[in-house]
């Protein structure tokens, strides 16, 4: 009599071997998948910068200059004017954001703290302005940035209730949460912080600061880019989720430079200022190479370096509209003084040093 034996199943050892093989395959494939995703995100970021370059040139064709880096108040302690805005806001009509630009109506609406409590001047309600402020502009956001959807405003250290934006701090006084942007205009080859007013001051002993293509309350033309458009930064990346480790250029650095940025941090596409003495918000969309690339920037202080979540460096759009990836190990000497090194030469529009390789 023939007895049919049952089919043999997996032993425990065989099952563990199969699981181990699957685990090894996943471990081998996962980095490749992550690299492919980052490559796609970086390509999107590259395209964003190209669009910014094209928009800036279209603006120049229309108005004969690059947009001002920021327009701020000139009336300490008063209501100031109605023109406060950043360079990115002026590009909205050239980034297919005409509707948002027309609704914000810079020069007509008072874009400041008053908007956070529901009031405005000659325009839509403050709450409507806040809704617009919270709307992200896709072209201004790098998909590799792991920060939150908003840059959170906190009360200024002066205790006067004025708001400024930063990259991650929150407080009970949060009210506007303007949408973030990840691209800052290149304003300087040295550190930007400490001076009281945005326009160049020319105080004795202070170093003139705005030697890039963007400055506060001033405009730069293509003919002012003496080093050539292919050799000069226009704008670069700034990540919103980076913090400065203790002991690295601590945040109590208070050196003064002419035309500095007073306690500004982070980036937002609107650059709204507060209602008082300092043009805080209007300067946030600017950056300098006074700090090493991808150095964690303590965003609560007057530091505007360039950084990204792309491994190994930061992407910049140049004045000719081309986009280049600059390694974080590029030749650089971070300080408050004009030096002859690759990164500063690329940031300074008129130092006379033309960089061939970078």
Name residue, tokens 């980034």. 95
Determine contact, residues 297/303, Cβ cutoff 8 Å.
yes
Q: How far apart (Å, rounded) are the C-alpha atoms in residues 237 and 306?
A: 6
Encode the chain (358 residues) as per-residue pLDDT tens digits.
555 655 666 788 888 888 899 988 888 888 887 778 888 999 999 999 999 999 999 999 999 999 887 765 444 444 444 555 678 888 889 999 888 888 777 666 655 444 444 444 444 455 666 677 667 788 888 888 876 554 433 222 222 222 333 333 333 344 455 667 788 888 888 776 543 333 444 444 444 567 889 877 678 999 999 999 999 999 998 876 544 443 333 332 222 223 333 333 334 444 433 333 333 333 457 777 877 888 754 433 445 678 888 988 999 999 999 999 999 888 877 665 667 788 888 998 988 888 877 7
318-357 tens-digit pLDDT = 999 999 999 988 887 766 566 778 888 899 898 888 887 7
Q: Domain locations in the chain? A: 20-358
- Provide the H-helix boundaries in 134-242: none
Number of Cα atoms under 13 Å in the Cβ half of residue 151: 33
pLDDT number for residue 204: 47
Q: How far apart (Å, rounded) are the C-alpha atoms in residues 18 and 10?
A: 10
pLDDT number for residue 5: 59
List % helix, strand, coil for the chain (3-state, nearest 5): 25, 10, 60
pLDDT number for residue 335: 62
Q: How far apart (Å, rounded) are the C-alpha atoms in residues 307 and 316?
A: 10
Number of Cα atoms under 13 Å in the Cβ half of residue 222: 16
Q: How far apart (Å, rounded) are the C-alpha atoms in residues 162 and 153?
A: 10
Token pair, residue 253, equals 């650095």
pLDDT number for residue 103: 78
Q: What's the farthest any 2 CA atoms get from each other in the chain?
A: 112
Q: How far apart (Å, rounded) are the C-alpha atoms in residues 347 and 318?
A: 10
Token pair, residue 114, equals 């008053």
71-102 tens-digit pLDDT = 654 444 444 445 556 788 888 899 998 888 88
- Using CA atoms in the order 99, 101, 102, 103, what is the torsion angle rounded to 10 degrees? 80
How far does Cα 258 stand from its chain's mean position?
A: 22
- Count of residues making up the chain: 358
Radius of gyration of the chain (CA): 24
The secondary structure of 173-234 as a DSSP string is: T----PBP--EEEEEESS-----S-SS----TTPPB---SS-BBTB---GGG-TT-GGGSEE
């Amino acid at each position: 009599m023939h007895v049919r034996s049952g089919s043999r199943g997996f032993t425990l050892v065989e099952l563990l071997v199969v699981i181990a093989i699957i685990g090894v395959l996943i471990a081998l494939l996962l980095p490749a998948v992550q690299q492919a995703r980052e490559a796609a995100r970086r390509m999107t970021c590259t395209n964003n910068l190209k669009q910014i370059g094209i928009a800036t040139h279209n603006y120049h064709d229309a108005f004969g200059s690059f947009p001002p880096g920021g327009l701020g108040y000139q009336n300490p302690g008063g209501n100031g004017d109605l023109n406060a805005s950043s360079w990115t806001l002026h590009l909205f009509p050239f980034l297919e954001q005409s509707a948002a630009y027309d609704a914000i109506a810079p020069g007509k609406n008072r874009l400041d703290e008053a908007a956070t409590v529901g009031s405005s001047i000659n325009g839509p309600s403050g709450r409507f302005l806040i809704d617009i402020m919270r709307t992200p502009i896709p072209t201004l956001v790098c998909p590799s940035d792991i920060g939150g959807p908003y840059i959170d405003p906190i009360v200024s250290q002066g205790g006067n209730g004025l708001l400024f934006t930063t990259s991650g701090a929150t407080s009970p006084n949060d009210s506007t949460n303007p949408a973030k942007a990840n691209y800052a205009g290149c304003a300087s080859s040295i550190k930007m912080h400490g001076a009281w007013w945005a326009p160049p001051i020319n105080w004795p002993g202070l170093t003139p600061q705005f030697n890039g293509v963007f400055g506060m309350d001033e405009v730069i033309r293509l003919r002012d880019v003496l080093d050539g458009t292919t050799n000069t930064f226009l704008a670069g990346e700034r990540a919103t989720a980076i913090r400065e480790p203790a002991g690295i250029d601590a945040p109590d650095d208070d050196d003064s430079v002419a035309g500095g940025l007073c306690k500004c941090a982070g980036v937002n596409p609107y650059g709204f200022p507060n209602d008082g003495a300092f043009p805080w918000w209007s300067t946030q969309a600017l950056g300098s190479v006074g700090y090493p690339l991808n150095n964690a920037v303590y965003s609560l202080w007057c530091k505007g370096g360039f950084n990204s979540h792309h491994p190994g460096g930061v992407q910049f759009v140049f004045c000719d509209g081309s986009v280049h990836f600059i390694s974080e190990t590029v030749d650089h000497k971070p300080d408050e003084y004009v030096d002859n090194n690759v990164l500063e030469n690329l940031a300074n529009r008129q130092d006379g040093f033309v960089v061939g390789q970078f």
